[in-house]
Amino acid sequence: MKLLISALLLSVCQGFLAPVPSTFLSRKTTSPLFATASPPATARKTPVFDEVCETTGVTLTRFMIEVAMLNPELSELPSLFSGIETACKAISNMVKRSQLTGLTGYAEGGGSINVQGEEQKTLDIMTNDVLKRALRFTGKLGVLASEEEDTPVDVEPSSKEVMFDETSKYVAVFDPLDGSSNVDAGIPTGTIFGIFDHDEECVVEGEPEGLSEAEMVCLTNTLKPGTDLVASGYCLYSSSCFFVMTVGCGVYGFTLDESIGEFVLTHPNIKIPETSKIYSFNEANLPQWDAPMRETVEKWRVGEGKSGNRFSSRYIGSMVGDVHRTLLYGGVFGYPSDTKNKNGKLRLLYEGAPMSYLMEQAGGLSSTGTKRVMEITPDEVHQRVPIVMGSKGDVQEVLDAYKAAGM
């Protein structure tokens, strides 16, 4: 097997120069090496591993090294991924042990409110901190924006802390613990991240409150549409801890093997089924949804939609868990616009865009109903966006309904 992997890697490394020998093309190697949905500006290559071993297979670290070898413009991404990976392992542990270590409930006994007026859980604050620390020490981050931070935070490390050549190449946006309102009940939660290129000229010193106009412009550097994402992904803290990511050439899923402390490739090149029988919404809001959304779901309930399938409902109320199931089983997940919340609930920059990138890379669609989520440039860091994402055929049915309604 080792020999086969080396041979395959060599073929892929040589890229266009040497075609992959047909004898090496097994079922998995015939899957597309390039993105079909929303191809990035420069087509990226992804390593191809012919077999996936459960315990000694391809680790995330190894995978990212291969990605960087094949795509020299991403050479600094592995160290950043390694920071995120470490943070995910730490957060997974914190979440798992929270009932025993007293990390449950609201921060400061209640009363700690984030910029969006939501009460913060103890774990919201702690996981935010874990991520910031893990990323700061990679030396690759210029600016961070997070659900738990009011404004983007500059994380230029002091020269003492830098362990690698410091280039401040990327901007990371993340939701440290998505679905945290569920966490004390042991329901799945997750960390979502998105990575953009950073303007290397932009260096910000001092606290966000005292920034010059130029520094503020630097900080709003984070306000980019999803089409500018270099990478995105999530960690899901559930029965297993999963790390699912894309760098623009397919979606790859890794599972934490706790016996060796490594994320191991278990879900290569995830493709979402084109049509499905599952919808995933907070249905209590259905009476307030836009008519096209409401009517489509009402048809699905009774098997009168385009596919004729009678749909089932699956809603955890935790975006990472709901999207993960949707990617693997197919279906439609969403938090649509309603009469009370015109922009739905989910945040564009660190929930909507990174998850849409994954969804499109897996062959699905993600839209507000009238617009591709990936193409929306945020006006502010915590902006919300209505979302309906998932299996192509079913999401397209929603888009057609909006179109037919002249919206």
Q: For ligand FDP, give the closer residue by CB, 72 or 117.
A: 117
Q: For ligand FDP, give the closer residue by CB, 322 or 360.
A: 322
Three-state DSSP state, 93: helix
Q: For ligand FDP, give the closer residue by CB, 181 or 343.
A: 181
The β-bridge relationship of strands 153-154 and 141-146 is antiparallel
Residues forming beta bridges with residue 246, ordered by sequence position: 232
And the tokens for 175? 């939701």
Residue spans of alpha helices (H) in 137-222? 213-219
Strand arrangement of the beta sheet that strand 189-197 belongs to: 153-154, 141-146, 170-178, 189-197, 229-237, 241-246, 252-257, 262-267
Calpha distance 356→373 (Å, rounded): 7
Q: For ligand FDP, give the closer residue by CB, 139 or 176.
A: 176
And the tokens for 76? 């600094």
Calpha distance 154→312 (Å, rounded): 45
Residue 86 belongs to what H/E stretch? helix 77-101
Least Å from the CB of residue 386 to ligand FDP: 13
DSSP string, 272-339: --SS-SEEE--GGGGGGB-HHHHHHHHHHHTT-STT-PPPEE---S-HHHHHHHHHHH--EEEE--BS
Q: For ligand FDP, give the closer residue by CB, 277 or 347.
A: 347
Least Å from the CB of residue 247 to ligand FDP: 24
Least Å from the CB of residue 178 to ligand FDP: 4
Residue spans of alpha helices (H) in 302-352? 319-329
Q: For ligand FDP, give the closer residue by CB, 318 or 337.
A: 318
Q: For ligand FDP, give the closer residue by CB, 180 or 269.
A: 180
Separation of CA 1 from chain center: 31
Q: For ligand FDP, give the closer residue by CB, 179 or 378.
A: 179
CB 34 within 8 A of CB 44: yes
Residue 69 belongs to what H/E stretch? helix 60-70
Number of neighbours of residue 376 by Cβ within 10 angstroms? 19
Least Å from the CB of residue 21 to ligand FDP: 45
Least Å from the CB of residue 346 to ligand FDP: 5
Least Å from the CB of residue 185 to ligand FDP: 11
Least Å from the CB of residue 347 to ligand FDP: 7
The answer for residues whose C-beta is within 8 angstroms of residue 8's C-beta and 6 or more apart is: 20, 24, 29, 48, 49, 50
Least Å from the CB of residue 342 to ligand FDP: 15
Residue spans of alpha helices (H) in 102-139? 122-136
Residue 367: which of 350, 339, 391 has the closest Cα? 391
Q: For ligand FDP, give the closer residue by CB, 28 or 345.
A: 345
Least Å from the CB of residue 270 to ligand FDP: 20
Least Å from the CB of residue 94 to ligand FDP: 16
Residues forming beta bridges with residue 59, ordered by sequence position: 264
Q: For ligand FDP, give the closer residue by CB, 303 or 317.
A: 317
Residue 252 belongs to what H/E stretch? strand 252-257
Residues that bind ligand FDP (CB under 6 A): 178-182, 282, 317-319, 345-346, 351
